[in-house]
Structure 1
Amino acid sequence: MTNDVLKARAEALLALHQPGNPVILPTVWDAWSAKLATDAGFAALTVGSHPLADSVGKSDREGMTFDDVLTRVAQITAAVDVPLSVDIESGYAEAPTRLIEGLLSVGAVGLNIEDTVHSEGGRLRSSSEHAQLVGALRAAADAAGVHVVVNARTDLFLRQDGDESDRVDRAIARLKEAAAAGADVLYPVGVHPPEVMRRLTAELPLPVNAIARPESADPASYGPLGVARISFGPFWQAALAERAREILARWI
């Protein structure tokens, strides 16, 4: 894929992020699920680390190597012709330049980067350390000539880190640092009450990514909360698995 094509896809992906009119990026894990989503009419996709790892018998939290991820992403981009973002967990202990060059080499134009360091016992990066990584990824993308869409994620809510009373404050401060370092989208991952999501979208300076359960959440409920991007994490794959178990149980 040429740099011009990659540039155009990255620009198209970024332009889809409109607070109040969220882009829905189905979270896929292989060429089959990607084709299902694009055939249904979705304009862009994201690859989730959890369903991706499950699909190849590996564990989430960097049970796959970065090369494993690239192999599967290449299969997806060969099968569909839409912008693709990839969850690269905490970076697989790879250098930012290697991460950006690897993603571009298989046709991906966006990434999620989280602040839990799986290669180091699951520790939480400090806010400044996470921001530095975001900045290094932005610099590597600039050097490659493609504005890779960087979705900076914090796991404070998933980890239930620290005291609940100031967790939203700490998440906002952490993500503001990532924004200043060059992120394009901010991802306070977790299923939040409406009042929390409204505060996050109101106080954060960039488009905000929300996670949704596709089989039960109301698609129309996210725009009024100011959300700009919706993804499914492992939930779409889990919903398909539940339906598959129901079908298979008829034959046991």
Structure 2
Amino acid sequence: MASKGLSELATAFRRLHRPGSPLVLANVYDVVSAKAVAPLPSCQALATASYAVALAAGTSDDDLTLEQNLAAARLIGKVAAEHNKPLTVDLQDGYGNKLEEAVRLAIIDAGAVGINLEDYDRERKRFYTVDEAAARVKAAVEIGAKQGLPDFVVNARCDTLVQGGDIDEAVERGRKYLAAGATTVFVWGGGKRGGISRAEVEKLVTAFGGRLNVSLKWPSGGLTISELAGIGVARISVGPTIMLLAMAEYERQAKQLLG
């Protein structure tokens, strides 16, 4: 059962999701990255990115196991606790019938007060139906409440666009996820598609009452944080971007040293 302090962190974390004044997350993936981000006065919370966690574990995002994901989350959770920052863990699709175990262990072992939950079943390579996905969102929220976190945050990821679907389906799914208890919906456009357009962001913000998470095209190439705030989004993240930038710089420095 979560402590009173963790419950208070969950409440504080939920309140950070304000349409028009978005929570900005510099996603982390291990102890080193967490220690770089957590002490920053501007850091309001820590968030993992499963893609980066997988790379650091020597595997791919599709092959990242629950055990590998939670192993990273536990270490990052210690850093979050040291700095009294909320932690949200990217639990991918919730690992099928392991959803309850995944959420419970993320809370108890890692001290998480929120998760990302996808609507695409990675093992069976298919979408959960909208009702199945909404039921899984509801279940995650209820599991959080049972662990003593009535304000447990679920950022429900909708993969409709990246899988070739249209914006109207994303709207339908997102509304169902919010009705099921999600705090925000993350509609991912993906790199091949070029992300989501300004018009799509505006449509989603209107449809979701601002409760939208957008992946920032950073450091350049897309809408800025201030522009997204002006449109009215509630949450902004960067996924594995900072890790990839850091590794490129690591390679550059190594080449200079070894050359």
Q: Assess same fold via TM > 0.5.
A: yes
The aligned residue for residue 18 of structure 1 is 18
Q: Secondary structure at the match of 2:74?
A: helix
C-alpha deviation, 1:170, in angstroms: 0.8
Match of 2:133 among 122, 130, 134: 130
Structure 2 gaps, min length 5: 190-194
> 2:74, 2:102 → 1: CA distance?
14
Query: Are 1:203 and 2:207 counterparts?
Result: yes
Report SS of the residue matched to 2:155: strand
Q: Tell me the residue number matched to 2:59.
A: 58
Q: For the residues of structure 2 that align with 1:67 and 1:137, how far apart are their CA atoms?
A: 18
8 A Cα contact 2:210 2:232, kept in partner: no
Out of 247, 250, 255, the position equivalent to 1:249 is 255
The equivalent residue for 2:8 is 8
The question of whether the paired residues in 2 share the 8 Å contact of 1:209 and 1:227 is answered with yes
The answer as to 2:147 corresponding to 1:144 is yes
Q: Give the stretch that moved more between structures: 236-245 or 223-232.
A: 236-245
Match of 1:238 among 213, 233, 244: 244
The residue that corresponds to 1:174 in the other structure is 173
TM-superposed deviation, 1:219: 2.6
Cα deviation, residue 143, structure 1: 1.7
CA root-mean-square deviation: 1.6
State the aligned residue count. Answer: 245
TM-score under structure 2 length normalisation: 0.89
The structural deviation recorded for 1:188 is 0.6
Q: How far did residue 39 of structure 1 move? A: 2.6
Partner in structure 1 of residue 70 of structure 2 = 70
Instruction: Tell me if the contact between 2:174 and 2:185 (Cα under 8 Å) persists in the aligned partners.
Output: yes
Partners of 2:210 and 2:234 within 8 A in 1: no
Q: Does 1:222 align with 2:228?
A: yes
CA contact (8 A) 2:57 2:68 kept: no
Structure 2 match to 1:213: 217
Q: Which residue of 2 aligns with 1:160?
A: 164
Specify the code of the residue in structure 1 equivalent to 2:95. Y
Task: Give the letter aligned to residue 43 of structure 1.
Answer: Q
1:2–1:137 Cα change, 3 Å: closer
Counterpart contact for 1:28–1:47, Cα < 8 Å? yes
Q: Report the counterpart of residue 32 of structure 1 in structure 2.
A: 32
Counterpart Cα distance in 1 of 2:156 and 2:142? 15
- Could you tell me whether the CA contact under 8 Å between 1:215 and 1:239 is conserved in 2? no
Please give the alpha-carbon distance, in whole angstroms, between the structure 2 residues aligned to 1:143 and 1:40.
Answer: 32
Q: Which runs of at least 4 in structure 1 moved beyond 3 Å after TM superposition? A: none
Gaps of 5+ in 1: 162-166
> Is 1:93 the equivalent of 2:92?
no
1:210-241 superposed Cα distances (whole Å, 9 cap, x missing partner): 00133225332210121111111121111212
Contact map agreement 2:210 2:233 (CA 8 A) in 1 = no
Secondary structure of the structure 1 residue equivalent to 2:20:
coil
Give the secondary-structure state (helix, strand or coil) at the position aligned to 2:236: strand
Report the identity percentage.
28
Q: TM-score, normalised by structure 1?
A: 0.92
Q: Aligned partners of 2:6, 2:243: CA distance in 1, in Å?
A: 28
Q: Report which stretch shifted further, 82-91 or 63-72.
A: 63-72
Q: Is the 8 A contact 1:184 1:206 kept in 2?
A: no
